[in-house]
Amino acid sequence: MQDVGEESEPLDPDRSTTRDEFTELLNAARNRAGLSYAGVERAAKRLPPRSGHQPSLARSTLSDMLTGKRAPNKTNLEIYLLVCGIAEEDLPRWMEARKRVWETAPKPEPKAPPKYRLRTVLITSASALALGAAAGATAVLLLTPDPARGTGEPLVPLQVATYNWTHWTPDPLAETRAGEIWPGTHAVACWTTGVRYTWIDEAGTTRGTSDTWLRLATDYYGNRNVYISDLMLAPTPKPAQSLLPRCP
């Protein structure tokens, strides 16, 4: 992993030798600028036109860029860097680093697959949706409330069992991806219903199905009010003390 240095030191794309290092630098640029994904999106729209077009960056594009899912195209990378305060005269160095790690460097080894796989089952009737909501409410009964944290809304600390994507809306579509969530304790604000998930283990056995989605206070990348399926939660033996509120 590349050392990105202190915040007073300029970010050096010339030192990037891998895609992970380059992605780390891109995230460091945003963090130094103090911008959320939404902040980058808004700031891009305030840039002057480039090549006759008004700049813009969708959150799904940012997610792909800042998680290293795919190579950023040159136009989006330029817009992102300018928003993050990178000087125009430094852009060629970043473009060269992009070319070096994405077009020249060998493709990294794929990560080990998770111990489960998910598939979606579309809900096709109002009755199915009602049944799913009832099942979701039963699952939420297992949640234990956290003491007040002065945030204006109740937050419940819950154990997420496995790595997964977070989403801007309660569904698994790629274009709604926001960031990532890692195993551990995360603050949950409320629950809602969305596209149904079915968890199938490596043996092909269905381990659970649910259309209940939980809204997190924040994810690994600092995105607020993002969603995960409740199938991501670790089972808890604690008795029910209260229900999470349903998301408005």
pLDDT for 123-135, tens place per residue? 333 333 333 333 3
Asked if the structure places residue 222 within a domain, the reply is yes
Q: What is the pLDDT of residues 201-245, one digit of tens each?
A: 666 777 678 788 888 888 877 888 888 888 887 766 543 334 578
User: What is the C-alpha separation between 197 and 118, in angstroms, rounded?
Assistant: 7
Number of domains in the chain: 2
Cα-Cα-Cα-Cα dihedral sign, residues 29, 27, 59, 89: positive
* 182 and 227 in a common domain: yes
* 128 and 216 in a common domain: yes
What is this structure's pTM?
0.45
User: What is the C-alpha separation between 61 and 168, in angstroms, rounded?
Assistant: 13
Asked if the structure places residue 91 within a domain, the reply is yes
Write out the chain's pLDDT in tens, 248 residues: 444 545 567 899 999 899 999 999 999 999 999 988 888 989 999 998 877 788 888 888 888 888 888 888 888 899 999 999 999 999 999 999 999 998 775 555 555 544 434 344 333 333 333 333 333 333 333 333 333 333 345 677 877 877 778 888 887 665 677 778 888 888 888 888 888 877 766 667 776 787 888 888 888 778 888 888 888 877 665 433 345 787 87
CB 139 within 8 A of CB 210: yes
CB 240 within 8 A of CB 141: yes
What is the per-residue pLDDT for 158? Answer: 78
User: What is the C-alpha separation between 57 and 52, in angstroms, rounded?
Assistant: 16
What is the per-residue pLDDT for 113? Answer: 44
* 34 and 138 in a common domain: no
User: What is the C-alpha separation between 133 and 127, in angstroms, rounded?
Assistant: 10
Asked if the structure places residue 242 within a domain, the reply is no
* 123 and 92 in a common domain: no
Q: What is the extent of the structural domain holding 142?
A: 116-232
**Torsions phi, psi of 165, nearest 5?**
-75, 150
Asked if the structure places residue 198 within a domain, the reply is yes
Asked if the structure places residue 111 within a domain, the reply is no
User: What is the C-alpha separation between 19 and 102, in angstroms, rounded?
Assistant: 7
* 125 and 97 in a common domain: no
What is the per-residue pLDDT for 91? Answer: 94
Task: Please return the burial class of 63, using the count of CB atoms within 10 Å of its CB with bins 0-12, 13-18 and 19+.
Answer: buried
* 77 and 52 in a common domain: yes
Q: How many CB atoms lie within 10 A of CB 10?
A: 9
